[in-house]
């Protein structure tokens, strides 16, 4: 707590603190180096590849740009002179990068990727090492954050330190809804950059919904021609999808696409007129969810899924399955006759399960791994053990996590990190007071929780306010997914250290 108030920010930013907090960090030598940005170089001594070379150039430019911008635009240029300080360990003009394992430019980040790295800055060693390119990427981000300005803004210092770091959870995601509002290429790329600054590694692309179908399908081009907000300006063609996947891969980020069905599909019906269920005497509804009773529905879905598998390269595809409104199914004579004939009369949950089961079975035959929203599990669909259940309903996530993992399914948690729900005065503390392991399960069950996601639904978010709604609130979720819970808990007892570090991370992003 503040004992007194001085002019300036309420919470001064820390200096050279890493976000998210590393698993292990120890100070060495009680000293510091001074980095000379214009002379600084990375020295690659291990395996090399284009991904690594691009990353070294990117981070060197980031360090150079930030130093010049801060010193030349905001402050007077001052000469850096450190030699009179007894803790001065020398000028840092190079830093060794040792990738000890193989590196392929075609390798994709995956759920199984290793992101562990070791970083040492001491009088004898100035080195970042990892067995994987993904670990090197995380370590480069850490190194860039260790650099800070002295109080007179003349010198760029780096404290002597040793860091051994790795993520707490393998799946650390951010969902972006690009249907309710269209988000531009520039903003999606900026989002991926910001994700890399937080060591987030899954871009969950909720690409379609009721409001628009911006994905350009080569198999069914009429879906975007009729279902997008604009058929050429506000769409994502397959060249752009390829660009996004490459941009993300270069930053160690997976792109997991979601095509949500059978609900959230009104925009689909414009380009595929026989797909949706006609409503009879349902107020304000003419069309409902996908009609699960027609063979043509599955012929269409299977062809679309074939294309999705060929275009989106991640092992996992999100199939949705949430929030299905049964009112149109209840009103439709064709649907109800089908249910009578199949022995599920009046059981609309069973009808949804019938549809999802067919989709799951087909996707399984394609050797694709799937993620589904929690309703698919709670409605009793028979899922392959590998299917990941995405827990999102906030009323009782602990019970759902317990049930999902008790059944042997991997789980992702999002219930506590819905970025579209904004509280006045900030809600980052609320985001900290939640944890993916906070449920009454065994250690074996908790090992099935592979991580979590923060969700940015776009009902009231477009290109103009996307960044300000996501950051720095999602920074907290990123730290919950990466950092050791005990150290975060200790900082939370005082609040000041964690608030100060969050302020510095916000300044970095700005």
Q: Which residues are catalytic?
A: 323
Beta strand extents in 283-323 (DSSP E only): 287-290, 316-318
Which residues have C-beta within 8 Å of that of residue 344, sequence separation ≥ 6? 350, 351, 354
Place of tokens 């899954």: 202
Phi-psi region of 380 (alpha: psi -120 to 50; beta: other; left: phi over 0): left
Q: Side-chain half-sphere of 499: how many Cα atoms within 13 Å?
A: 14
Which residues have C-beta within 8 Å of that of residue 182, sequence separation ≥ 6? 212, 214, 229, 234, 462, 463
Evaluate whether 390 touches 414 at the Cβ level (below 8 Å).
Answer: yes
Q: Side-chain half-sphere of 123: how many Cα atoms within 13 Å?
A: 7
CA torsion sign, 247 to 251 to 254 to 256?
Answer: negative
> In terms of Cα–Cα distance, which of 133, 78, 110 is closest to 314?
110
Give helix then strand counts, H and E, for the chain. Answer: 18, 18
Which CA distances in Å does 149 have to 121, 159, 461? Answer: 17, 11, 35
> In terms of Cα–Cα distance, which of 167, 166, 165, 158 is closest to 28?
158
> In terms of Cα–Cα distance, which of 167, 170, 183, 168 is closest to 456?
183
Would you state the structure tokens that stand for residue 345, as one six-digit string? 């009369």
End-to-end, the C-alpha distance of the chain in Å comes to 26
Would you state the structure tokens that stand for residue 288, as one six-digit string? 């409902």
């Amino acid at each position: 707590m503040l004992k007194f108030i001085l002019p300036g920010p309420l919470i001064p930013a820390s200096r050279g603190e890493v976000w998210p907090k590393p698993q292990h960090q120890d100070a060495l030598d009680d000293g510091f180096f001074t980095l000379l940005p214009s002379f600084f170089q990375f020295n690659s001594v291990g395996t090399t590849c284009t991904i690594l070379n691009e990353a070294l150039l990117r981070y060197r430019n980031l360090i150079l740009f930030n130093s010049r911008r801060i010193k030349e635009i905001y402050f007077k240029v001052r000469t850096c002179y450190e030699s009179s300080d007894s803790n001065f360990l020398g000028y840092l003009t190079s830093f060794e990068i040792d990738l000890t394992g193989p590196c392929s430019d075609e390798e994709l980040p995956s759920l199984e990727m290793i992101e562990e790295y070791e970083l040492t800055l001491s009088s004898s060693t100035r080195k970042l090492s990892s067995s994987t390119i993904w670990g090197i990427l995380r370590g480069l981000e850490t190194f860039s954050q260790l650099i800070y300005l002295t109080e007179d803004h003349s010198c760029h210092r780096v404290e002597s330190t040793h860091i051994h770091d790795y993520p707490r959870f393998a799946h650390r995601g951010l969902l972006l809804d690009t249907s309710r509002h269209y988000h531009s290429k520039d903003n999606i790329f900026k989002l991926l950059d910001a994700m890399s600054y937080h060591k987030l590694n899954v871009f969950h692309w909720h690409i379609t919904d009721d409001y628009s179908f911006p994905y350009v399908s080569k198999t069914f081009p009429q879906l975007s021609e009729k279902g997008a907000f604009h058929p050429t300006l506000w769409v994502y063609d397959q060249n752009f999808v390829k660009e996004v996947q490459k941009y993300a891969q270069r930053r160690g980020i997976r792109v997991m696409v979601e095509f949500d069905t059978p609900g959230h599909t009104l925009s689909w019906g414009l380009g595929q007129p026989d797909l949706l269920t006609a409503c009879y005497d349902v107020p304000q509804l003419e069309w409902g969810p996908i009609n699960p009773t027609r063979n043509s529905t599955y012929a269409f879905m299977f062809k679309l899924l074939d294309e999705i598998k060929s275009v989106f390269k991640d092992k996992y595809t999100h199939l949705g399955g949430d929030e299905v409104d049964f009112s149109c199914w209840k009103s439709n004579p064709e649907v109800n006759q089908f249910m009578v004939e199949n022995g599920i009369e009046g059981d609309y949950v069973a009808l949804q399960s019938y549809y999802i089961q067919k989709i799951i079975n087909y996707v399984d035959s394609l050797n694709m791994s799937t993620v589904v929203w929690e309703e698919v599990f709670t409605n009793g669909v028979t899922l392959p053990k590998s299917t990941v259940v995405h827990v999102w309903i906030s009323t009782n996530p602990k019970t759902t996590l317990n049930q999902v993992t008790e059944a042997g399914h991997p789980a992702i948690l999002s219930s506590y990190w819905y970025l579209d729900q904004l509280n006045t005065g900030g809600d980052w503390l609320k985001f900290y007071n939640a944890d993916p392991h906070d449920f009454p399960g065994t250690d074996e069950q908790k090992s099935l929780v592979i991580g979590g996601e923060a969700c940015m639904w776009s009902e009231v978010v477009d290109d103009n306010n996307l960044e300000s709604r996501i950051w720095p609130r999602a920074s907290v979720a990123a730290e919950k997914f990466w950092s050791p819970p005990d150290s975060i808990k200790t900082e939370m007892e005082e609040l000041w250290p964690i608030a100060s570090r969050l302020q510095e991370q916000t300044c970095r992003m700005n």
